[in-house]
Amino acid sequence: MHKPDIWGYKRTHVAKAFAIGIFCSMIPMPFQMVLAAYLAYRLAANLPISIALVWISNPFTMPAIYFFQYKLGSLVLGEHVSKPPFELSVNWFYQQLGIIWPPFLLGAFICALLGSILAYVIVNQFWVWKVRKSWRIRRNDK
């Protein structure tokens, strides 16, 4: 925990943290925060931002995110998005899981990859734009 890069607020640390946080939030797995912390440490990204962004997927947003990922994966695989009759039971869940698992994981991976790349580029470009704007303002004030 004494690695200074994981606490730094440099442009590269923050941009990497956004990429890691978005990536981990889109992966359907337990303990996403642990994965985000590990990746932030290994890739010298800001640790608090990486962990905080994992909460994009929370119990309220997960159903919408997961359904979108399933639809995206089905679209890429050329499968029809089915709406099976819902039944609140463990048996029903395990039966449906076998059907939806491949398109769901593919959609999750696509969302994680594209989201993390997009987050990195947007944060990086915004930071550069903001610094250039600040320098222009300083130059004009003198």
Encode pLDDT of 51-65 as tens digits.
999 999 988 888 889
Greater pLDDT, 123 or 88: 123
- Is the pLDDT assigned to residue 88 strictly greater than 70? no
What are the CA-CA distances from residue 71 to residues 86, 89, 127 (Å)? 17, 23, 33
- Separation of alpha carbons 59 and 89, rounded Å: 19
Mean pLDDT of the chain: 87
Closest CA to 34 of 46, 56, 50: 50
Q: Which residue has the tokens 């200074």?
A: 4
Q: What is the mean pLDDT of residues 30-49?
A: 92
User: pLDDT by residue (tens digit) across 65-81?
Assistant: 988 998 899 899 988 77
pLDDT of residue 1: 59
Tokens encoding 135: 């320098």
- Kindly report the length of the chain: 142
- Cα 25 to chain centroid, rounded: 4
- The amino acid that residue 12 corresponds to is T
> Rounded to the nearest 5 degrees, what angle is found at the Cα of 113, between the Cα atoms of 107 and 116?
130
Bigger pLDDT: 107 vs 95 = 107
| pLDDT, position 89 | 66
pLDDT at 96 > cutoff 90: no
The pLDDT, as a whole number, for residue 100 is 81
Domain boundaries, the chain: 4-70+107-141
Task: Say if pTM beats, i.e. exceeds, 0.85.
Answer: no
Residue located via tokens 């943290």: 17
The percent of residues above 90 in pLDDT, for the chain, comes to: 51
